[in-house]
Structure 1
């Protein structure tokens, strides 16, 4: 199956489920994150990363959400990035891989960031290891992908508005098509 068709099916199927206690579905959340990145004028790879950042929560794609809801880290950022890596390059997958670390980082280095987190995001922060230590934060800041991951994280946090008009998955298909690895791009 074409990877974009597979993603479209995930957004339409599992994506219609509630999203870890948020007021939006999982698909709405991810679509809003992509739309926020697009509105900010982000490059295509960051729009894609924002759109796909939580694909690791889908059961059919990777490990699903049950562990997270039960208080165990499902490492959705890593498993999602690994799964997406079959189809997209590191410019898309690394911000996905690092978006949880970016939340932990921002909680350490940015006064007031923690107060922006939803109740569900505070819960997952605890499950994911809590705020970084100062040493961990310095190491994260030195990572070449830190800046992109922080950008995705900021869109992630804002993408939880049940009243926000949000484009559907098909809106992003041409952008994603242009980012597919050559062996997955359509002729």
Structure 2
């Protein structure tokens, strides 16, 4: 296996960095395969619900699809809880970071904030403010996040819901993640202030 000549980045040559760029490009071709495996891993995590985290993710995406959402939002819905295993206290931000280079900024914002917005359903049981989300009331994507949580996310814990398989969403993931990362024509403007 080819390796760079340096032990510190500052000592790298052009040839070293060209090699790394080529290897990274080849590695990145397997991103959807790794995402599919990460989703499969949600089958065996965080118990207590009537469905697995994978089934929840599939249902969330299926509800978005049935609602006529575009590929970006469906991909966001499918991957919104991908961070549960590694970042249980900021899973929303981890999932948003994964999708950010490939979807419009609105979807990234919705996924990034869905954990906070979901608190409207349960925070009162713990003496917390269920309307903490209202600090974003004037944000242009505030209602999009409310809609995502209400129509797709919070409703997707139903063992009787006709849930498609992960394979159903693979072509969509391949379309979305085959885009050039950070293409301004796709992601649009960065998050509004």
Q: CA deviation at 1:183?
A: 4.8
Distance 1:159 1:98 in 2: 18
Distance 1:18 1:176 in 2: 22
Query: Structure 1 pair 86/41, CA: closer, same or farther in 2 (3 Å)?
Result: closer
Q: Please name the residue that 2:110 is paired with.
A: 95
Q: CA deviation at 1:30?
A: 0.4
Distance 2:112 2:125 in 1: 15
Q: Please name the residue that 2:153 is paired with.
A: 156
- What residue ranges of structure 1 are gaps of 5+ in the alignment? 66-73, 108-113, 115-121
Could you tell which deviates more after superposition, 171-180 or 34-43? 171-180
Q: CA deviation at 1:101?
A: 2.6
Q: Please name the residue that 1:16 is paired with.
A: 43
Paired residues in the alignment total 152
Q: CA deviation at 1:29?
A: 0.3
Give the conservation status (yes or no) of the 8 Å contact 1:78–1:96: yes
Using CA pairs below 8 Å that are at least 6 residues apart, which structure has the higher relative contact order?
1
Distance 2:101 2:84 in 1: 17
Is residue 144 of structure 1 aligned with residue 140 of structure 2? yes
Distance 1:80 1:43 in 2: 18
Q: CA deviation at 1:27?
A: 0.3
Q: CA deviation at 1:19?
A: 3.6
Is residue 173 of structure 1 aligned with residue 188 of structure 2? no
Query: Structure 1 pair 23/145, CA: closer, same or farther in 2 (3 Å)?
Result: same
Q: Please name the residue that 2:33 is paired with.
A: 5
Which of structure 1's runs of 4+ aligned residues deviate more than 4 A?
Answer: 86-89, 123-127
TM-score by length of structure 1 reads 0.69
Q: CA deviation at 1:182?
A: 1.1
Q: Please name the residue that 2:24 is paired with.
A: none
Q: CA deviation at 1:86?
A: 4.8
Counterparts of 1:1-187 in structure 2 under 5 Å? Answer: 1=27, 2-12=30-40, 14-59=41-86, 63=87, 65=88, 74-104=89-119, 107=120, 114=121, 122=122, 126=126, 130-133=129-132, 137=134, 139-154=135-150, 155-180=152-177, 181-183=179-181
- For each residue in 1:84-141, what CA deviation from the matched residue of structure 2 results, as whole angstroms up to 9, or x when unmatched? 335545243221101123224xx3xxxxxx4xxxxxxx379859x64135xx51x412
Give the conservation status (yes or no) of the 8 Å contact 2:123–2:130: no
Query: Structure 1 pair 179/92, CA: closer, same or farther in 2 (3 Å)?
Result: farther
